[in-house]
């Protein structure tokens, strides 16, 4: 596809998401709206590169999709011997506020707490991310048929449970927004292990959420966090696909425009949370400490640890304490960090707990590092990360018996 073709495809996908949100409201059916928008998208991709992009791309797609939806409703009514229900007309020039509201309704419908987290992630990628069912299946590493059934069940639950297509009330919003943010960040974390398509979609969804809710600290903090982490993307893996530790990354390859944008968002988030910290804003502040350090040795570990202490004051979890322990290991010593890691409970099946132990034991020259790494692999440590640490252990301790490293993650 040419650069022009790529630009048209991106435009169609972006506008298609907004058209889908409006058509769900008009038709009352996610399935019908999806079918109609998909038909309109296919036509746009066939005709726009040849005839030129229309002056009002969203209006073109909206009218084409509505026509398709009307055809489907009439055909189904005729098959059943019924009178076709009248479908409301759509404004081909919807104002930005109504489009925003439709998108917000779709965001909160896809991420409704009545749906399982797996279903929320799949629906978010399918409807908000604009991925096909096959692309969603590939992104989440399941067969296409399995994903198709999962999406069908999710849409059926929306219909059968009468999940409302609306923006939550003010009192519902904090809890529901938290669920939306969790879904987007889960997608980002899945992509951060090297699956670029998921990573890009998560950043896109985070941008969409911040665009729709620019005064919400959670939306600002989430976008800041994914941008500050995504800024390091080009240096996170070497040419063979092995992960590169933060200490060894080429910082000149980082995306400083993303860092600048992320830091500004952190500032905006902090100004909106003067008394009660927001977890995403605080995590973004930690990421900013790393991104703004001229070199790894110049990282302000006091600031990093202080931000972790703030985070623990509102979200005290073993995983956050594990991350804080890693910072303590850098500031104080591997032994100090290992003592904190070993004191944690409830992470016996968490691969990164075992990987942290393996790393710190390796730094301390302990032969137990190999066993800890083997346990990390058994509990699901991604293969690339396991291979990187295994290579270091074997290189620096040639006699170490590092076994059990199967493909994982």
Of 254, 245, 322, give the one whose Cα is nearest residue 288: 254
What range does the domain containing 26 cover? 1-94
Residue 59 inside a domain? The answer is yes
Residue 261 inside a domain? The answer is no
Residue 48 inside a domain? The answer is yes
* Angle between helix 30-51 and helix 57-80 axes, rounded to 10 deg: 130
Residue 61 inside a domain? The answer is yes
Out of 172-186, 276-290, 322-336, least confident range: 172-186
Residue 56 inside a domain? The answer is yes
Residue 197 inside a domain? The answer is no
**What average pLDDT does range 144-148 have in this prediction?**
95
Burial degree of 33 (CB within 10 A; 0-12, 13-18, 19+): buried
Residue 326 · residue 297 · CB < 8 Å: no
Task: Tally DSSP H helices, then E strands, for the chain.
Answer: 18, 0
For the chain, the first-to-last Cα distance in angstroms comes to 32
What's the rounded Cα separation, in Å, for the pair 289 and 333? 20
Residue 17 inside a domain? The answer is yes
> What would the pLDDT profile of 91-121 be if each residue is shown by its tens digit?
777 778 778 888 889 999 999 999 998 899 9
Q: What is the mean pLDDT of the chain?
A: 88
pTM for the full predicted model: 0.81
Of 321, 329, 357, give the one whose Cα is nearest residue 342: 357
**Res. 140 pLDDT band, cuts 50 70 90:** confident
In the chain, the number of structural domains is: 1
Distances 238 to 99, 151, 191 between C-alpha atoms, Å: 42, 36, 16
**What average pLDDT does range 31-54 have in this prediction?**
91
State CA 315 to chain mean position distance: 20
Residue 71 inside a domain? The answer is yes
> What would the pLDDT profile of 240-276 be if each residue is shown by its tens digit?
878 888 999 999 999 999 999 999 999 999 999 999 9
Residue 165 · residue 109 · CB < 8 Å: yes
């Amino acid at each position: 596809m040419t650069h022009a073709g790529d630009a048209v495809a991106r435009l169609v996908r972006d506008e298609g998401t907004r058209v889908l949100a409006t058509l769900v409201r008009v038709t009352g059916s996610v399935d019908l709206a999806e079918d109609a928008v998909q038909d309109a998208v296919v036509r746009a991709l066939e005709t726009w590169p040849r005839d030129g992009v229309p002056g009002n791309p969203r209006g073109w797609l909206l009218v084409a999709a509505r026509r398709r939806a009307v055809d489907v409703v009439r055909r189904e009514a005729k098959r059943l011997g019924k009178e076709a229900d009248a479908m409301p007309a759509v404004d081909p020039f919807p104002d930005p506020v109504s489009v925003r509201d439709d998108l917000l309704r779709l965001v909160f419908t896809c991420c409704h707490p009545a749906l399982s987290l797996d279903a929320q992630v799949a629906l978010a990628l399918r409807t908000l991310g604009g991925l096909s069912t096959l692309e969603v299946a590939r992104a989440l590493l399941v067969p296409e048929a399995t994903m198709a059934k999962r999406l069908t069940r999710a849409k059926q639950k929306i219909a059968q449970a009468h999940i409302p297509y609306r923006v939550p009330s003010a009192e519902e919003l904090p809890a529901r927004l938290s669920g939306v943010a969790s879904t987007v960040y889960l997608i980002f974390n899945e992509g951060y292990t090297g699956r670029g398509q998921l990573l890009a979609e998560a950043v896109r969804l985070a941008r969409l959420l911040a665009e729709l809710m620019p005064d919400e600290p959670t939306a600002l903090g989430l976008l800041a966090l994914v941008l500050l982490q995504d800024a390091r993307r080009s240096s996170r893996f070497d040419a063979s696909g092995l992960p590169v530790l933060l200490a060894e990354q080429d910082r000149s390859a980082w995306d400083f425009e993303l860092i600048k944008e992320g830091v500004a968002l952190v500032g905006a988030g902090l100004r909106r949370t003067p008394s009660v910290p927001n977890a995403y804003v605080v995590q973004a502040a930690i990421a900013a400490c790393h991104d703004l350090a001229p070199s790894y040795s110049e990282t302000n570990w006091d600031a990093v640890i202080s931000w972790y202490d703030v985070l623990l004051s509102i979200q005290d979890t073993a995983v956050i304490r594990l991350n804080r322990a890693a910072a303590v290991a850098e500031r104080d010593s591997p032994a100090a960090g290992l003592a904190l890691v070993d004191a944690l409970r409830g992470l016996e099946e968490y691969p990164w707990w075992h990987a942290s132990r393996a790393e710190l034991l390796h730094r301390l020259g302990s032969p137990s590092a190999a066993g800890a790494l083997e346990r990390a692999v058994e509990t699901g440590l991604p293969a690339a990360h396991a291979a990187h640490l295994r290579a270091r252990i074997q290189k620096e301790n040639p006699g170490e018996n590092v076994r059990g490293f199967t493909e994982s993650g």
